[in-house]
């Protein structure tokens, strides 16, 4: 006697169909969210970097752009606890080049970062802080 009969095959097929439908519904994009084309994100990021790098050399500290490398660009679309929140708000992290390892198996040094907040709405950038 077979383990699965015709009725259980239909039941299994219905279950798989239901699971597939549930999974598809869970992955549907939210129609209220704005979908941004990759090209416009790239253009926006170029503008963000230009605004941030206009701060160099950072006065009173002697930091020159040539001494730093951009290691992180973070959009603050859903950040909490910040003054600027939204798709127009960015935080860039620059790290002193001498503290970044040359090889893949080397450790990255602690500290040496400059955090810069950029607001595209009012085209402003300001230093938010420094690493240890």
Return the domain boundaries, the chain.
Answer: 38-130
Nearest-angstrom CA–CA distance, 47 and 51: 6
Enclosing H/E stretch for 128: strand 124-130
Looking at the whole model, is its pTM more than 0.75?
Answer: no
Inter-residue contact 91 to 115 (CB < 8 Å): yes
pLDDT in tens, 86-122: 888 999 999 999 999 988 899 888 999 999 999 999 9
Inter-residue contact 76 to 86 (CB < 8 Å): yes
pLDDT value of residue 108: 86
pLDDT in tens, 32-57: 655 555 567 788 899 999 999 988 87
Please name the residue that has the structure tokens 């169909």.
17
Nearest-angstrom CA–CA distance, 16 and 80: 40
């Amino acid at each position: 006697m077979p383990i699965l009969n015709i009725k259980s095959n239909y039941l299994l097929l219905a279950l798989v169909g239901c699971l597939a439908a549930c999974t598809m519904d869970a992955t549907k994009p939210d129609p209220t969210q704005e979908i941004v084309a990759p090209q416009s994100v790239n253009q926006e990021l170029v503008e963000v970097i230009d605004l941030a790098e206009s701060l160099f050399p950072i006065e009173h500290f002697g930091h020159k752009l040539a001494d730093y490398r951009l290691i992180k660009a973070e959009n603050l679309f859903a950040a909490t606890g910040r003054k600027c929140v939204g798709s127009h708000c960015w935080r860039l992290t620059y790290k002193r080049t001498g503290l970044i390892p040359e090889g893949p198996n080397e450790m990255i040094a602690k500290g040496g970062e400059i955090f810069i907040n950029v607001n595209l709405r009012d085209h402003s950038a300001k230093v938010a802080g420094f690493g240890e």
